[in-house]
Amino acid sequence: MKRIVIFASGSGSNAENLIKFFKNSDNASVVQVLTNNPHAKVLDRCKTLEVSALSFNKIALSKSNDVLNILKASKPDLIILAGFLWKFPEFILNEFPNKVINVHPALLPNYGGKGMYGMHVHEAVVANKETETGITIHYVNEHYDEGAIIFQATCEVTPSDSAQDVAAKIHELEMEHFPKVVAKLLK
């Protein structure tokens, strides 16, 4: 049985989708959810879904081995950043080579990098009058949004779309594709 650990910072809709997708799987399950936000809604979702969840601070992630030790104890086959907003430490990446992935709400390399997350991305897409956007699932490396691309899916952006409209389209793509791509990676 493959083991998945998810990092999230906010509501946790992607985490919940992944947990539910793998709930009755014979191949994989989500064994741990970690968050940098002690008030994140993902903690409530995990409680409801009966999945272990912990919050941590920046020192535990970047300046000590606390989070690294939790990961080593969890023995993940895949670490998923699902709406996790902090830069992932290089020393943890080195311990889990090619085992950390992220979903980004745009077609990388466009609209990636520090500060480009959530509504910031969708507002930029609308402001630049893009006709297409999408999601990118990629490996995580030491730079924001620069790891090797695993999968992309696109959607149309119409001239009348607001940033909220784009966000809804991106959310649909994430819900549809993210669990399937994770399942393929774990085979």
pLDDT at site 178: 98
pTM, to two decimals: 0.96
Gyration radius from the chain CA atoms: 16
- CATH assignment of the domain containing 168: 3.40.50.170
Per-residue pLDDT of the chain (187 residues; tens, 9 = 90+): 999 999 999 999 999 999 999 999 999 999 999 999 999 999 999 999 999 999 999 999 999 999 999 999 999 999 999 999 999 999 999 999 999 999 999 999 999 999 999 999 999 999 999 999 999 999 999 999 999 999 999 999 999 999 999 999 999 999 999 999 999 999 9
Q: How many structural domains are present in the chain?
A: 1
169 sits in which H/E element: helix 163-186
CB 55 within 8 A of CB 43: yes
Q: From 80, 174, 85, 170, select the one nearest 125 (Cα to Cα).
A: 170
172 sits in which H/E element: helix 163-186
How far, CA to CA in Å, does 138 sit from each of 80, 100, 101, 127? 10, 9, 6, 25
pLDDT at site 118: 92
159 sits in which H/E element: none
Which range of residues forms the domain containing residue 109?
Answer: 2-186
